[in-house]
Amino acid sequence: MRALIATVACFATMLSVAAQQKISGADPLADATSEARAGHLEAALAAVAAAEKSGASASNVLSLRGVIHLEQEKLDEAVAELRAAHAKDPALIGPRFHLGDALLRQKKWEEARTAYSEMAKETNVLILNERLRYAVLLTYLGPKDDAGAKAALDRLVFPTESPAYYYAQAAWAFAHDSKSAGEKWIKTAAKMFEEKQTAWFARPLYDFGWIKNKPPIPLD
C-alpha cells in the first residue's frame, strides 16, 4: 500500500481532470462537481457521463459518481464505484475516504472503522488525519460502544486544525442525550470554520438524526 503523503490540495484532485482532458474549453467533470454541489444530482450524473465519454480519468469519474450515488442513498452502487475507483488508482485519497463514508452510512461499523483506521495510519497530513480520527469515533458511537468511543474521543485533542475536535465533542454529547451541549459545540465550530469546511463533519450527525438541517453535499 502506498503511503498517503499527498497534501490537502491533492485530496481535492479527485474532483477535477487534467487540462488536456478538457474539450473546447469545457470540463464536464468540473461541471458535474458544480451540479452536485448545487444539489442537482441527476444533472451531475449526466455531466459525469459526459466526462467519461470525453476521456476523463476513470478513477475520478468513478469516485465522483460514487459520491453522488452516496448522496442519493444508492449505497451499494456507491460502494462498488468507490472500490472500483480505488482499484483504478490506489494513490487517490478520495475514493478510499468516501468508501469509509459509504460503509458508515450502511452501518457496517467494523468495515468502516477498518477503512478509516488504515488510512489514518498511512497519512501524515494533519487535517486528513483529524478527519479520519473523527470518523473512527463515529464508528463507535453508531453501535453505542461507549468504551471504544471514549478512547477515540480522547485521541482528538484540542486544538485541531479542522472542525474535528468541535464535532467530536458535539457527536459525543448528542450520543449521550445532551442535545443542548451538542448544539453549542456546533455553534462554536460555525464561528471558526466556513460551512464548506464543516459539511463533511456535520453530515453523519444528520444521518444519525441528531441535527435537523441537512448539510451541503460533502464532496471534499
CB 214 within 8 A of CB 148: no
State residue 69's pLDDT score: 97
Peptide bond just before 159 cis, omega within 30 deg: yes
Question: For the chain, what is the radius of gyration of the CA atoms?
Answer: 17
- In terms of Cβ atoms closer than 10 Å to its own Cβ (0-12, 13-18, 19+), residue 134 is buried
pLDDT in tens, the chain (220 residues): 444 444 343 444 444 434 334 433 468 889 999 999 999 999 999 999 999 999 999 999 999 999 999 999 999 999 999 999 999 999 999 999 999 999 999 999 999 999 999 999 999 899 999 999 999 999 999 999 999 999 999 999 999 999 999 999 999 999 999 999 999 999 999 999 999 999 999 999 999 999 999 999 988 7
Neighbours of 41 (CB within 10 A): 16
Write the CA distances from 137 to 26, 95, 196, integer angstroms. 41, 20, 21
CB 165 within 8 A of CB 199: no
State residue 15's pLDDT score: 40
Query: pTM of the full predicted structure?
Result: 0.86
CB 118 within 8 A of CB 151: no
